[in-house]
Amino acid sequence: MRSKYKAMVLSCMDPRFQLPVFNFIKKKNLVSKHSSFTIAGAAVGVTHSKFKKWHQAFLDNLKTSIKLHKIEKLIVVNHEDCGAIKLAENKKNYIEDKIHKNSFQKLEKIITKKFPKLKLEFYIIKLDQKILRVRSLR
């Protein structure tokens, strides 16, 4: 039997991106068919060594949503100009795009190991609200 719930959406707490993320969910026809995990940095928050305390909480929530809601997919939405990246990197010379991609790769590795059946999609919302899909490795 197919579940009526489809996905968990992992996104950042940044106030500027709540509406764009919601509009994106709407565009994907996932309103009320998704669970949400919103945390500073999105994929960065749940993978970066600076935020270690947050990693397990995310995985526990994801596991719970898989069990309770029978979701089939994790949709990860990072965004440009993320304050969590600034905090985590703590230096001026970093390439934001690289941090996003590192976080996606790390998360993909973790998910593949812990929840191999779960589908994955990665996105970055730009400041102009354009949405960029980042290819998953699998």
> Applying CB under 5 A, which residues contact Zn ion?
12, 14, 82, 84
When the beta carbons of 11 and 66 are compared against Zn ion, the nearer one is 11
Residue ranges of alpha helices (H) inside the chain are: 18-27, 52-69, 83-89, 96-114
When the beta carbons of 42 and 66 are compared against Zn ion, the nearer one is 42
Least Å from the CB of residue 117 to Zn ion: 29
Least Å from the CB of residue 82 to Zn ion: 3
CA pair distance 97, 65, nearest whole angstrom: 29
When the beta carbons of 33 and 106 are compared against Zn ion, the nearer one is 106
Instruction: State how beta strands 73-79 and 34-38 pair.
Output: unpaired
When the beta carbons of 6 and 79 are compared against Zn ion, the nearer one is 79
Instruction: Name the nearest CA neighbour of 12 among 87, 111, 83, 95.
Output: 83
Least Å from the CB of residue 112 to Zn ion: 24
* Contacts within 8 Å (CB) and 24+ apart, 55-58: 58/10
Least Å from the CB of residue 80 to Zn ion: 9
